[in-house]
Structure 1
Amino acid sequence: MRRNTILLATMAIATIGTTTQSCLAIATSSVGLTVIKQILLGGINKGLNIFSNKDSFLANQLIDAALPQQLKDINSTLQKVGLNSLVQKEKDYIARAAAFTVDTSRPILNNAVNSLTAEDATRIIQGGSGAATKILRERTSEQLMAAIAPKVDAKLNEFGLVQTLNSALAGTNILGSIFGGQNSNNLATNAVSRFAAQQMVNGLFNIIENHEQQNSTTILNSLGGMK
């Protein structure tokens, strides 16, 4: 009886090992890698479609959650002094600027996805939920920031946001408290463009990751039900 139990346990372990190896083999095959790429590209398209529409951008909670703390502090201060309309205008301008980053962001992200390898697929499968987006973020976030920040800055200046914030914050020490004791209006208004670009990059990855998680069942099914 004991010998039978040990034999069954050994067979079970061997089966699990074989199943895991089979799942990884499928994952790193052209089929498994294609599924992962399609899901990531779907998330990218979803995010950039949202960026293309100002109202969709403003209404998206994943983008709102990506707002940098410094910009939250500026907005909170403006609201406290009765300038809520300026905060709304700032958000509107940032949403409008986001549309001008779509054509720049798309090839960077698509190229990174299409460059994924079998080794990446193994890391994604072993990494669990959100691992594919994590790899994509690691490989593109700095490039995205460098590419879109100048476009965001140009658009926000074109819309007059920088000048408006300068006027609203002139003669205050608000910026010093937010930026570590440096009392410079120009420092903050120039940084607003950088903060806006950070929100766009992080918000986009939030959308891609959410899309990946929503489609995790598709990944598992393509790998034969691997958990």
Structure 2
Amino acid sequence: MSRNTFLIATVTAVTLAPVTQSCVALATSSVGLAVLKSILLGGITKGLNIFSNKDSFLANQLIDAAMPQQLKDVNSTLQKLGLSNLVQKEKDYIAQAAQFTVDTSRPILVNAVNNLTTEDAVRIAQGGTGVATQILKERTSQQLMAAIAPKVDAKLNEFGIVKTLNAALGSSNILGNLFGGQNSTSAVTGGISRFASEQMVNGLFSIIQNHEQQNKSAIMNSLTGMK
């Protein structure tokens, strides 16, 4: 078996399911683990590159789809009040804040990938595409939230978006009502920062999973072309 054919077989074993016992053995080999890690690291790099560019962040549909419902409600309320310009400003500030989470997120994710075990590879080989990203999410999502939320909060406070929103809404407690009746600026800011951080974490994993799925498609196309 040539080296290229072996690598294709290995990646196929890692990303396709169900698989035979022999494929599981191949996936858990040193080469199989290396390919698996390479796929995940590629997805991480792709996602963080998007986070590094404000325009790419704003244009990414996976990130937009990851917006928590509470933040959607805030934006919907503002739009109904004719404040669509503030919605765009808020999104713009969140995209800018995302750039400051890249260097914090990268080592957490890379470390988790490097610590994947043969037991993880068996679970991935038996579970199929998307499971690798799910394992990564299980291992790092809480750590990522804890690490980036303070940075997001600091940046959104620096940009003054909540102060701007409160000023635009006057003496009404619309934002406070959306955050459970808490009308203090700190409570509202903390809410927006928390939901923005959730959007970033979930959006990043969506990008990584999409990259994993794209690898599956590319491998299947390659195999089809070899027949």
Q: Deviation string for 1:145-200 (max 9, x for gaps)?
A: 00000111111111111211222344224235423444545422221111111110
The equivalent of 2:86 in structure 1 is 86
The equivalent of 1:66 in structure 2 is 66
CA RMSD of aligned residues (A): 1.9
Mapping 1:193-208, distance limit 5 Å: 193-208=193-208
Amino acid at match of 2:50: I
Amino acid at match of 1:74: V
- Give structure 1 stretches of 5+ with no counterpart: 1-18, 222-227
Q: Deviation string for 1:11-47 (max 9, x for gaps)?
A: xxxxxxxx81110100111111111100000000000
Amino acid at match of 1:92: D
The equivalent of 2:160 in structure 1 is 160
TM-score by length of 1: 0.84
> Structure 1 166/177 Cα, relative in aligned 2: closer, same or farther at 3 Å?
closer
Quick one: distance in 1 between partners of 2:94 and 2:150? 13
Q: Does 1:110 align with 2:110?
A: yes
Contact (CA 8 Å) 2:98, 2:200: kept in 1 or not?
yes
The equivalent of 1:13 in structure 2 is none
> Structure 1 126/169 Cα, relative in aligned 2: closer, same or farther at 3 Å?
farther
The equivalent of 2:212 in structure 1 is 212
Quick one: distance in 2 between partners of 1:157 and 1:122? 45
Quick one: distance in 2 between partners of 1:201 and 1:213? 19
Contact (CA 8 Å) 1:166, 1:189: kept in 2 or not?
no
Quick one: distance in 1 between partners of 2:175 and 2:194? 15
Q: Deviation string for 1:117-170 (max 9, x for gaps)?
A: 000000011112200000000000000000000111111111111211222344
Quick one: distance in 1 between partners of 2:28 and 2:35? 10
Q: Secondary structure at the match of 1:215?
A: helix
Amino acid at match of 2:75: N
Sequence identity, in percent?
Answer: 77
Amino acid at match of 1:211: H
> Structure 1 158/184 Cα, relative in aligned 2: closer, same or farther at 3 Å?
closer
Quick one: distance in 1 between partners of 2:178 and 2:157? 21
Quick one: distance in 1 between partners of 2:172 and 2:184? 9
TM-score by length of 2: 0.84
Q: Secondary structure at the match of 1:67?
A: coil
Quick one: distance in 1 between partners of 2:138 and 2:208? 13
The equivalent of 2:39 in structure 1 is 39
Query: Structure 1 stretches (4+) deviating beyond 4 angstroms?
Result: 181-185, 217-221
Q: Which moved more, 1:135-144 or 1:123-132?
A: 123-132
- Give structure 2 stretches of 5+ with no counterpart: 1-18, 222-227
Contact (CA 8 Å) 1:175, 1:185: kept in 2 or not?
no
Contact (CA 8 Å) 1:44, 1:109: kept in 2 or not?
yes
Quick one: distance in 1 between partners of 2:220 and 2:119? 18
Mapping 1:95-174, distance limit 5 Å: 95-174=95-174
